[in-house]
Amino acid sequence: MENMLMTADEVAAELKVSKAYAYKLIRRMNQEMKEKGYYTISGKVNRKYFRSKIDYNEGREQDASIQG
């Protein structure tokens, strides 16, 4: 069973970006989650939220950048 939280190393590996950029993305996603009333853990991101933001299930070409 997968852990429900992803580390910066996992995010970096999945998106093929640097660890520093992975932390930047995690901070953005965690801020969005906080604004929605969720608790977050610094340096980790909810796997389900990460996947929804990256949009793996929509069948579109993926870009490692976060729009917004």
pLDDT in tens, 29-51: 999 999 999 999 999 999 999 99
Banded pLDDT at 55 (limits 50, 70, 90) = confident
**Closest C-alpha among 36, 41, 57 to residue 8:** 41
Whole-model pTM above 0.85? no
7 lies in some domain: no
The span from the CA of 60 to the CA of 62, in Å, is 6
In a domain, 28, yes or no: yes
Q: Number of folded domains in the chain?
A: 1
Residue 65 lies in a domain: no
Residue 52, CB-side half-sphere exposure with 13 Å CA sphere: 8
The residues, any chain, with a CB within 8 Å of residue 57's CB and separated by 6 or more, are 51
- Residue 23: domain span: 14-54
